[in-house]
């Protein structure tokens, strides 16, 4: 059985619902995980997405900020939400696929929107950066993010850290820029190591090849400058590592009309 999983920071699902529909019609992922939906649950465009084939929805949203959702063509066994750092700010949702979806062995998927962290990389003067570091620390400590050897699990999302030198356009120039500072990179890679997670994208596009999933709106010509960062990730547990068959980053979507500053990342697994 083949399953496709997409992660995409959509930067307002209602504003960009036509782009979501365009992507769905072209790619048809089994699981579409969105971040920064900026939409309360009772205003989410469920009817249109259900018409597109996504009958199963796990929502965690609020007005104007943050928000995550898992849209699925496959039925869930269960869903869950965890609040990090004592805040109910809609940054996590998880689902379990099992027998109802045709799987003998269940698959757990976590969808995260890690705090961006503001502009100043000093937790003493920037509360947003302090929150980001605390959030990453809680992820590291979470037993739920340390799958057992036989456990089939996936982490996706806008993790808001570009951890490798080849994940940014200039390692040297971005060392003091939030999303690529040494402390953030160390913490994210520590989470990955603690859970033995496999970086799906770098399985197919290994270092030192440059690869990005985000380009700033501030760039007048993002294509020419190509000053991107890889902030969006798909990790799989060791039990799924040999099931990965492809990973695709849809860079062209950054050039669509009124785009998100992030692009979709899609992994295919043969189960």
Nearest alpha carbon to residue 57 among 13, 93, 11: 93
Cα 177 from Cα 118, distance rounded (Å): 10
Three-class secondary structure of residue 9 per DSSP: strand
pLDDT (0 to 100) of residue 189? 98
| Cβ neighbours, 10 Å, residue 231 | 24
Instruction: Tell me 241's DSSP state.
Output: G
pLDDT (0 to 100) of residue 123? 98
pLDDT (0 to 100) of residue 24? 98
Q: Where are the alpha helices (DSSP H) in 40-178?
A: 46-51, 127-141
The encoded tokens of residue 80 equal: 């869950």
The CATH number of residue 71's host domain is 3.60.10.10
For 153, phi and psi rounded to 5 degrees? -145, 155
Cα 40 from Cα 271, distance rounded (Å): 34
> Residue 80 is part of which domain span?
2-270
Cα 195 from Cα 212, distance rounded (Å): 24
Nearest alpha carbon to residue 154 among 37, 264, 241, 49: 241
Mind listing the pLDDT tens digit of every residue in the chain (271 residues)?
999 999 999 999 999 999 999 999 999 999 999 999 999 999 999 999 999 999 999 999 999 999 999 999 999 999 999 999 999 999 999 999 999 999 999 999 999 999 999 999 999 999 999 999 999 999 999 999 999 999 999 999 999 999 999 999 999 999 999 999 999 999 999 999 999 999 999 999 999 999 999 999 998 899 999 999 999 999 999 999 999 999 999 999 999 999 999 999 999 999 9
Q: Where are the alpha helices (DSSP H) in 13-154?
A: 17-27, 46-51, 127-141
pLDDT (0 to 100) of residue 220? 85
Cα 262 from Cα 264, distance rounded (Å): 7
The partner residues of 246 in beta bridges, in order of sequence, read 268
- Which residues are within 8 A (CB) of 124 and not within 5 positions of it... i.e. 6 or more apart? 130
pLDDT (0 to 100) of residue 77? 98
Residues recorded for the chain: 271
CB 13 within 8 A of CB 69: yes
- Domains held by the chain: number: 1
Number of helices (H), then strands (E), in the chain? 6, 14
In order of 113, 136, 139, the CA distances from 83 in angstroms are 12, 13, 11
Cα 139 from Cα 128, distance rounded (Å): 17
Cα 45 from Cα 38, distance rounded (Å): 12
Name the residue with tokens 């380009």: 215
Cα 43 from Cα 40, distance rounded (Å): 5
The partner residues of 107 in beta bridges, in order of sequence, read 97, 152
Q: Where are the alpha helices (DSSP H) in the chain?
A: 17-27, 46-51, 127-141, 182-194, 200-204, 222-225
């Amino acid at each position: 059985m083949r399953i496709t999983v997409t992660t995409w920071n959509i930067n307002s699902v209602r504003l960009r619902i036509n782009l979501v529909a365009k992507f769905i019609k072209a790619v048809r992922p089994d699981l579409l995980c969105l971040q920064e939906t900026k939409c309360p649950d009772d205003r989410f465009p469920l009817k249109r997405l259900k018409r597109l084939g996504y009958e199963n929805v796990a929502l965690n949203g609020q007005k104007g900020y943050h928000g995550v959702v898992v849209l699925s063509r496959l039925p869930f066994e269960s869903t869950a939400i965890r609040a990090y750092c004592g805040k109910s700010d809609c940054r996590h949702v998880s689902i379990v696929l099992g027998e109802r979806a045709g799987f003998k062995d269940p698959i757990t998927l976590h969808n995260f929107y890690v705090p961006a962290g503001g502009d100043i990389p000093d937790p003493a003067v920037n509360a947003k950066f302090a929150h980001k570091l605390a959030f990453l620390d809680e992820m590291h400590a979470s037993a739920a993010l340390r799958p057992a050897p036989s456990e089939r699990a996936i982490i996706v999302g806008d993790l808001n850290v570009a951890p490798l030198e080849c994940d940014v356009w200039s390692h040297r120039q971005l060392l003091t820029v939030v999303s690529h500072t040494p402390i953030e990179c160390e913490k994210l890679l520590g989470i990955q190591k603690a859970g033995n997670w496999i970086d799906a994208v770098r399985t197919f596009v290994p270092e030192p090849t440059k690869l990005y999933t985000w380009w700033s709106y501030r760039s007048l010509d993002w294509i020419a400058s190509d000053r991107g960062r890889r902030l969006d990730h798909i990790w799989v547990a060791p039990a799924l590592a040999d099931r990965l068959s492809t990973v695709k980053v849809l860079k062209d979507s950054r050039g669509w009309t009124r785009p998100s500053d992030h692009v979709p990342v899609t992994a295919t697994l043969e189960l």
